[in-house]
Amino acid sequence: MFIVLLGYPIAVVRALATHRLFPALVSHLVVLALFGLYYRWRVRAWPAHQRVGALSFVAQALVMPVTYGLLTPLALFTLDSGSWETRGHDAGAGPPSPPVIGRHGGRPPAA
């Protein structure tokens, strides 16, 4: 995963610089279609309501260059930023949250 996180943005930038992004996306489509066929073969015995179509993986060919190629470098450049809402945010300033009532009426389940 570390190699994908660092290598994929470099590959996307390199493909953009050499005007080969479209062939890279086509190769992604082919590989992801093969993964989709493999998935379809592996789950062929599952009930129909638990499966998705083999082409559901193809959308990742467009999502991955955006997330890994553009958002990962942005995240790396903003790691030292303190302006994220979750950092330095005063969590106690708002009204208290209502209690969450589970299926046991808020009581822990009997042992």
Domain borders along the chain are 2-78
Residue 20 pLDDT more than 80? yes
Instruction: Indicate the pLDDT class of residue 76, thresholds 50, 70 and 90.
Output: confident
Say what the pLDDT of residue 64 is. 80
Q: Can you spell out the DSSP letters for the chain? A: -HHHHHHHHHHHHHHHHTT-HHHHHHHHHHHHHHHHHHHHHHTTTS-GGG---GGGGTTHHHHHHHIIIIIHHHHHHTTT-S-STTSS--GGGSPPPPPP--TTTTSPPP-
Give the pLDDT mean for 13-26: 88
Which pTM value belongs to this model? 0.55
Say what the pLDDT of residue 2 is. 79
